[in-house]
Copies of this chain bind each other. A is one copy, B any other.
Amino acid sequence: MEKIKIALVEDSKLLLARLAEGFSLYDTYKIVGKYSNGKSILDALAKSNRENLPDIILMDIEMPKKNGIEATLEIKDKYPHIDIMMLTVFEDDAKIFASIQAGASGYMLKDEPFESIVNAVHELYNGGAPISQSIARKVLSLIKSNQDTTNNGHPLTPDLILSKRELELLHGVVNGGSYTTIAKDLFISPHTAKTHIKNIYKKLHVHTKAEAVRTWLGKL
């Protein structure tokens, strides 16, 4: 039987090595790539031929060069068939939502026992959407509070839910684009780009592109 091809993207060399070692113990899995940031896996994927592409990517969120959410966005854009599971220490609401909306199919915490992670990968490969218990609880409660929102008018969790399209716009902002250039990249009118960015500002509670970049890159 064909082995399940896995790529790892993980900031910490220690954890990266540990994961690779762990999966190598199973003959069901084959590690086809180890990367330390979003940029390097994107570069590598671009250079791979089709049969070497991974089936599943385990992706860290906080990484230098390019974070896991932006990387996920780009990978799912170019290689929609690859399943991505976020593997992170974060239980941060915004990051969970952003990951899911960027196209991640699973969301596991790093401190889960290794067996849980292996099970999650297996589940993912069979079409599931594995999520850590604690994350699942959070997601549910967030969705619930969003339903409240729809009912009473003012959002309880306004800044969490950037739409997929908005993430793409934000990506443009982070890369230093103007309304015009961002619009060009996404094949929309500059007016539309502006509208989206205005909406992003409201959700992130910022008023300028510089603030948006800082907030998105996660430094306070």
* Residues on A facing B (Cβ under 8 Å): 14, 39, 62, 64-67, 173-176, 178, 206-214, 217-220
Please name all residues of chain B whose beta carbon is closer than 8 Å to the beta carbon of A64 when the two chains form the complex.
62, 218-219
Please name all residues of chain B whose beta carbon is closer than 8 Å to the beta carbon of A14 when the two chains form the complex.
14
Please name all residues of chain B whose beta carbon is closer than 8 Å to the beta carbon of A212 when the two chains form the complex.
210
Residue of B nearest to A176 (CB): B211
Complex CA distance for A175 and B213, rounded to whole angstroms? 10
Residues of A contacting B: mostly: loop
Complex CA distance for A51 and B123, rounded to whole angstroms? 56
Please name all residues of chain B whose beta carbon is closer than 8 Å to the beta carbon of A209 when the two chains form the complex.
208-210
Complex CA distance for A202 and B200, rounded to whole angstroms? 29
Complex CA distance for A65 and B66, rounded to whole angstroms? 17
Given contacts A65-B219, A174-B214, A175-B214, 12 further A-B contacts (CB under 8 A): A62-B64, A65-B220, A66-B219, A66-B220, A67-B219, A174-B219, A176-B208, A178-B208, A208-B210, A210-B212, A213-B213, A217-B217
| Most B Cβ at <10 Å: residue of A64, A219, A220 | A219
Nearest 7 pairs of A and B residues by beta carbon:
A176-B211, A209-B210, A213-B213, A217-B217, A210-B213, A210-B210, A176-B210
Please name all residues of chain B whose beta carbon is closer than 8 Å to the beta carbon of A214 when the two chains form the complex.
174-176, 213, 217
Please name all residues of chain B whose beta carbon is closer than 8 Å to the beta carbon of A207 when the two chains form the complex.
176
Task: Write the nearest CB–CB distance from A15 to chain B, whole angstroms.
Answer: 11
Residue of B nearest to A62 (CB): B64
Contact A210 B65 (CB under 8 A): no
Please name all residues of chain B whose beta carbon is closer than 8 Å to the beta carbon of A211 when the two chains form the complex.
176
Residue of B nearest to A220 (CB): B65
12 contacts between A and B (CB under 8 A): A39-B220, A64-B218, A64-B219, A67-B219, A175-B214, A176-B206, A176-B208, A209-B209, A210-B212, A210-B213, A213-B213, A213-B217
